[in-house]
Chain A
Amino acid sequence: MLDQSADGYVTEDGRQIGGVLMEMRNITLKFGGVTAIENISFDIREGEIRAIIGPNGAGKSSMLNVISGFYVPSEGEVWFRGARRPQLKPYQVARQGIARTFQNIALFHGMSTLDNIMTGRMTLMKSSIGAQAIWKGAAEREETEHREAVEKIIDFLEIQAIRKTPVGRLPYGLQKRVELGRALAAEPKLLLLDEPMAGMNVEEKEDMSRFILDVNDEFGTTIALIEHDMGVVMDLSDRVVVMDYGKKIGDGTPDEVRGNQAVIDAYLGVSHD
């Protein structure tokens, strides 16, 4: 068992994980009569890669939407950086330092890779619309700075060759990478990835895993991800939450989760009667 004291812990590969960044306290989410999430609590610590796994319909995406502030839980509280988070608009969540990618890619298809990633900088732009239209002085300097940050991301994700290509023309795997780029452009404290490897082949999965590890390593970004591919999850993450039918059935390191009988049952399909 890891030492999960308030100060954090040290991972197997020697990374220091910090204190609690986000805490979910007794979250319940209901849509009419359907309970998507039932009384779940867990935390996400600074610098860790935290996975949420579970069979189809377990409530993983709903959970991610609660974290991102898109859904407001019916009961329970979300604590972020030591304070209880009130109900927020999506842009307010983004300004708090939370960025995400989507299960079904949500990019601007007619725009180039560069412009798509540039939109990720939106929340960091300070000059007014008027100043940007005239594009003199501060606004021009600001754009240069943002462009530099975006170029660093393009370099980081090795997508220089498609810098000026409209994303609609790109294959799926590359679009996923562009979407990750856009999320990174916001310089998030917490990065949410919704099935980053869905529909990818082995090579693309390996590339994406490498990028996720590198993001965590280079920028110290905390990452919460949902993923179906068990192999990938177990290799990447420091701690895993397992959900089934809206309930939390396991929480711990990949090894602990792997040995958990409830988890094995959920994945191997024990009848629920």
Chain B
Amino acid sequence: MTTKSTPQGDLVSVPALLFRNASQFGSAPAYREKEFGIWQSWTWAQTAQEVREMALGLLVLGLKRGDHVAIIGRNRPAHYWSMVAVQMCGAIPVPLYQDAVAEEMAYVLEHAGARFVICGDQEQVDKVIEVQQRIDHIDQVVYTDKRGLRKYDHSAMNWMQDVQAEGRAAETRLAGELDARIAELTYDSTCVMLYTSGTTGKPKGVVLSNQNIIETSRNSSEFDDLRSSDSVLAYLPMAWVGDFIFSIGQAYWSGFCVCCPESAHTMMTDLREIGPSYYFAPPRIFEQQLTDVMIRMEDAGRFKKWLFDRYMAVARRVGPALLDGKEVSAWDRLAYALGHLFVYGPLKNTLGFSNVRVGYTAGEAIGPEIFDFYRALGINLKQLYGQTEAGVFITQQPDGEVRSDTVGVPSPGVEVKIDDDGEVHYRSPGVFVEYYKNPESTASTKDAEGWVATGDAGFFEEGTGHLRIIDRAKDVGKMADGSLFAPKYVENKLKFYPDILEAVVFGRDRDMCTAFINIDLNAVGNWAERNNVAYASYQELAGHPRVLETIANHVGEVNRSVAEDPMLSGCQIHRFVVLHKELDADDGELTRTRKVRRAVIGDKFNDLVGALYDGSRTVSTETEVTYEDGRKGSIKATLTVCDAEVVTPGSKAMAAE
């Protein structure tokens, strides 16, 4: 068990926590990584040794205090270690999104003034070399996977294991220097700099101090009683604040084990093998898993299907109540126990959720059916609301008070208030220091008393004290007739259908709402297979009349549900198009965390938006697409503009127009 104390004088940095763990949990596993088909593990003592060697090696290469070091790669122990090693040297780690194209990477590398770059593999090294022609402050490149890099010019490039070997060799010479630099770290030193995903405009560098990270990690670990026996699967981008808090902050505070998958594609298999006790995933992953389960059940035999349906009905009725510790009759308990034996247990095992004690989802609203499905299985899935600027946690749901439509109560140590315009503000020990090299943005986001504006509109629910988020404050607007326009609210309702991957609603200052819709290729593709619908490409499937019909039905249902709320009934969708391509971060339409960039999409597809409002039946368009290697191409398509059923308040359903 962890000692749960406030940080004493010495626990003021991540390296300090590492030393504590190495002496306290020396032989307990700190990291696991699947490599060559086998899970390899490192204890806390071994980790401390590895990190120290890396830090010494970086000193040999000439890393100075206050330097920024960019880290670009997938979730691997060596990359996590390098962040802590950089901190030991008194420098600042800056993890970047590994799937960013060279152009995006150039902006961040230049803005951060990175002197060292640690790359995962050849792909990342190639991007950095491309960028290096324009940016002259990158002095050293270090890589962890040497494949394909043998022939590269190594005058300012090193393999991580060589760096560690040099560090070992220099131990006697540089140990004093390194220890001195570690001793200099204080609660106020910068722990990490993370770039926001940038739904609007350029990414901003959020500077988080040791205090931000350590106090947030302490509070949130205590909130969910995280212990050194827990484990987590680290598979979300390292550049995202959540991964930093879960896989470094909380892991080092509580001393639990961080497991890294073999590759991005094996994540589901690795999840099943590891069976983590602490799990985080954005709603999209839960949706995808549920869709997969449902697709498999469609293909299952009659008896299995009957068993599944019967016991899932029991689970939906009884499961959430059991989780919340409410009264449940003995008969229901028995039925649930049988269900666990036949269905829930094996299903959870297949999904990799057998051991999950605490699970979180955040980032987007999650569909109530999806949320309830996992809760019904007995998985303690909760919601939280957070931001990079807060070091993640603003509100979260305590055990026993979990619902799909709220984001919980303020996290320990966080104060939340709603201003007159309905915007949510918060103040906490996790509040960021500043936006790097951007005092104007810092000043407009954080006031003198430390209150931070979230940019989200929300309200506290009467009675329960739970926060509900309506929408991005910026996105909420008025339609031409003055009624309220809340696009996200409608988009979320649309996205709850497994067929719909993404939706973008337009309607600000217009007389009606319209939408772009992206189909989910997995779900719709499977439906097509079962219904003998032949298609050759995504584009063809997306334009299939039967698909359009299904989507139109979904939109109609959403309209009916939206119409129930008199305030929002104006947000019903009158017309929509199913897009011929998936919205993609490489094309700038989504952020790297898959959030919709409304303005970019509106601009790029303005011909389609025009067609939605001028009454045309079809529209021809040509769209530029970017391939993974940064080259451009274009696709042409003729899209059908569909009408949806809308409900006039106080009357029966009628067709649009």
Chain A residues at the B interface, C-beta cutoff of 8 Å: 13-15, 147-148, 151-152, 154-156, 158, 160-161, 163, 202-203, 206, 210, 213-214, 217-218
CA gap between A181 and B36 in the complex, in Å: 14
Q: How far is the CB of B235 from chain A (nearest CB, A)?
A: 13
Find out whether the CB atom of A158 lies under 8 angstroms from the CB atom of B263: yes
B: number of interface residues (CB 8 Å): 16
Give Cα A152–Cα B37 distance, bound, in whole angstroms.
9
Say whether, besides A206-B629, A213-B148, A161 and B36 are in contact (CB < 8 Å). Answer: no
- Give A154's nearest chain B residue, CB to CB: B37
- A154-B263 Cα distance, complex, nearest whole Å: 12
A156 touches B628 (CB 8 A): no
Q: How far is the CA of A161 from the CA of B536 in the complex (A)?
A: 25
Smallest distance from the beta carbon of A47 to chain B beta carbons, Å? Answer: 13
C-beta contact mask, B256-267 vs A, less than 8 Å → 1, else 0?
000000110110
Which residues from chain B contact A218 at a C-beta distance below 8 Å? 147-148, 150
Contact of A163 with B263 at beta-carbon distance under 8 Å, contacts A13-B151, A14-B151, A213-B148 already known: no
Shortest CB-to-CB span from B238 to chain A, Å, is 19
**What is the CA–CA distance of A158 and B151 in the complex, to the nearest angstrom?**
21
In the assembled complex, which residues on chain B have CB atoms less than 8 Å from the CB atom of A217? 148, 150-151
Would A214 and B148 count as touching, CB distance under 8 A?
yes
Q: Report how far A147 CA is from B37 CA in the complex, Å.
A: 10
Residues on A with C-beta less than 8 A from B36 are 148, 151-152, 154-155
Judged by a CB distance under 8 angstroms, whether B139 is at the interface is no
A-B contact count (CB 8 A): 39
| Chain B positions 135-173 with a Cβ under 8 Å from a chain A Cβ | 147-148, 150-151
With a cutoff of 8 Å between Cβ atoms, the chain A residues found around residue B289 in the complex are none
B627's nearest neighbour on chain A, judged by CB, is: A203
> Can you report 27 residue pairs joining A to B where beta carbons are below 8 Å apart?
A13-B151, A14-B151, A147-B37, A148-B36, A151-B37, A152-B36, A154-B36, A155-B35, A155-B36, A156-B147, A158-B263, A160-B37, A160-B262, A160-B263, A160-B265, A160-B266, A161-B263, A161-B269, A163-B37, A203-B628, A206-B629, A213-B148, A214-B148, A217-B148, A217-B150, A218-B148, A218-B150
Within 8 A of A (CB), among B242-277: 262-263, 265-266, 269
Q: In the complex, what residues of B have CB within 8 A of residue A158's CB?
A: 263
A214 near B147: Cβ-Cβ < 8 Å:
yes
List the A side residues contacting B150 at CB < 8 Å.
217-218
Q: Which residues of A contact B148 (CB under 8 A)?
A: 210, 213-214, 217-218
Q: Which B residues are CB-close (under 8 A) to A160?
A: 37, 262-263, 265-266
| A210 / chain B contacts, CB cutoff of 8 Å | 148
Dominant SS among interface residues on chain A? helix
B40 CB, nearest partner CB in chain A, Å = 12
Contacting residues, chain B, for A148 (C-beta < 8 A): 36
**Complex Cα spacing A210 to B628, Å:** 15
A residues in contact with B627, CB < 8 Å: 202-203
Apart from A151-B36, A218-B150, 6 more pairs, CB < 8 Å: A13-B151, A15-B151, A160-B262, A161-B265, A161-B266, A214-B147
Q: Roughly how many angstroms separate A47 CA and B242 CA in the complex, as a whole number?
A: 47
Q: How far is the CA of A257 from the CA of B36 in the complex (A)?
A: 42
Chain A: minimal CB distance from B419 (Å): 48
Whose C-beta in chain B lies nearest to the C-beta of A155?
Answer: B36
Complex Cα–Cα for A158 and B148 (A): 13
Q: How far is the CA of A160 from the CA of B261 in the complex (A)?
A: 11
**Highest count of chain A CB atoms <10 Å: which of B37, B150, B265:** B37
CA–CA, A229 and B220, complex, Å:
57
Across the two chains, which residue of chain B brings its CB closest to A156?
B147
Residue-wise, chain B 35-55 has the 8 Å CB interface mask toward A (1 for contact) of 111100000000000000000
Q: Which residues of B contact A214 (CB under 8 A)?
A: 147-148
A155: which B residues are within 8 A, CB to CB?
35-36
* A256–B51 CA distance with the chains assembled, in angstroms: 52
- Which residues of chain B are near A13, meaning CB under 8 Å? 151
CB-based nearest A residue for B633: A202
The minimal Cβ–Cβ distance linking A71 to chain B, given in whole angstroms, is 35
Least CB separation from B629: chain A residue: A206
Kindly state the separation between the CA atoms of A22 and B628 in the bound complex, as whole angstroms: 39
Contacts of B151 in A (CB 8 A): 13-15, 217
> In the complex, which residues of chain B have a beta carbon less than 8 angstroms from the beta carbon of A163?
37
Q: How far is the CB of B242 from chain A (nearest CB, A)?
A: 24
Closest approach, in angstroms, between the C-beta of A170 and any C-beta of chain B? Answer: 13
Taking CB atoms and an 8 Å cut-off, the chain B residues in 435-485 that contact chain A are none
Query: In whole angstroms, what is the CA distance A213 to B263 when docked?
Result: 22
Shortest beta-carbon distance, B604 to chain A, in Å? 23
